Amino acid sequence: MQVMVLEAPGKALAFRERGEPDPGPGMVRIRVGACGVCRTDLHVVDGELPDIPYPIVPGHEVVGRVDALGQGVASLRLGERVGVPWLGATCGICPYCRQDRENLCDHPVFTGYTRDGGFASHLLADARYCFPLGEAGEDTALAPLLCAGLIGWRSLTMAGDANHLGLYGFGAAAHIVAQVANWQGRTLYAFTRAGDSAAQQLALSLGAAWAGASDDAPPVPLDAAILYAPVGALVPAALRAVRKGGRVVCAGIHMSDIPTFPYRLLWEERQIVSVANLTRADGEAFLAIVPKAGVKTHTTVYPLREANAALAALRSGALIGAAVLQP
């Protein structure tokens, strides 16, 4: 098998050849058809997340086909197309798991972070945490749904019934969420880097009522705002943009420090909340909505060996939509 592996923090990913792993009990081996490139992969590569077990193969937006079954696996069949998300496994016994909050599990496994991921031709996955995908759609189009879509969906549900909804950072997640939110009848306002006319045009083409720079004031007070850009300074900016009782949802796993801000921005029952990971129920609900909402992803496809180029394009903001690797 072929992998792009991170051997030390901050290093470029290295192409390596390995033997194909055998799945243990409850596990499956997946032949990767496509793997999306997520901002969390940058946090892994940069060593910004704790306890990374080097060497590690990043990638957690995986679409592929079951290539081998471990002992006891009956829920999947050989050749079936599945998605492998960020949440790779949970303990099932901690208080959070027992309360149906497995996204907060005390002892989780994360694809491409604590277990080798999808920047590879093959990977191992827990069969219980794979999503059957059926045969509709191309692998490269489906891959961004496995994190950008899933975390986008969870952040959208945490925004409540907000009608006037702001999206800060119009990249992979926002361009998917915008389509679902439009289908739900919400009014969208897109905030991008100053001068990023391409992202603003994409937002408008996907139904946003307004698009501007992240420090611009929207034309109306927002009921809620979701932050996809990992920039702490956007938190007080979003608080300024939401109405009394409004909510700011921070959707990233890592963010630069939030600067101090006057209490008056938080007063009048405004809220700041964060999104952590996902649950399997999130995935099932979102994937059922995708065809109903007519979600279409905008992707740039790179060969597996060009993973570093894809990461560089994501880091620089050069991507429109999502990057996807294809072995």
Q: Are 139 and 63 in contact (CB under 8 A)?
A: yes
pLDDT at 228: 96
**Residue 89: domain span:** 2-145+297-326
Residue 292 covered by a domain: no
- Domain match, 141 and 154 both: no
Look up the CATH number of the domain holding residue 153.
3.40.50.720
**List of the chain residues with pLDDT < 50:** none
Residue 279 covered by a domain: no
Is the four-CA dihedral 59, 61, 67, 72 of positive or negative sign?
positive
Integer Cα distance of 11 and 32 in angstroms: 24
pLDDT at 289: 97
- Domain match, 34 and 64 both: yes
Q: State how far the alpha carbon of 63 is from the alpha carbons of 54, 113, 132, 140, 263, in Å.
A: 24, 17, 10, 8, 45
pLDDT at 45: 95
DSSP 21: P
Q: Are strands 187-192 and 210-213 parallel, antiparallel or unpaired?
A: parallel
| Dihedral of the alpha carbons of 113, 116, 122, 128, in degrees to the nearest 10 | -80
- Domain match, 81 and 140 both: yes
Residue 289 covered by a domain: no
pLDDT at 94: 98
169-196 pLDDT tens trace: 999 999 999 999 999 999 999 999 998 9
Of 162, 158, 173, 168, nearest to 276 by C-alpha is 158
- Domain match, 7 and 141 both: yes
pLDDT at 86: 97
- Domain match, 21 and 140 both: yes
Q: Quick one: which H or E segment has residue 27? A: strand 27-37
Q: Are strands 322-326 and 299-303 parallel, antiparallel or unpaired?
A: parallel
- Domain match, 165 and 141 both: no
In the chain, the amino acid numbered 9 is P
Look up the CATH number of the domain holding residue 316.
3.90.180.10
Residue 285 covered by a domain: no
Residue 246's CB is within 10 A of a number of other CB atoms, namely 23
Q: Quick one: which H or E segment has residue 62? A: strand 61-69
- pTM for the full predicted model: 0.94
Residue 288 covered by a domain: no
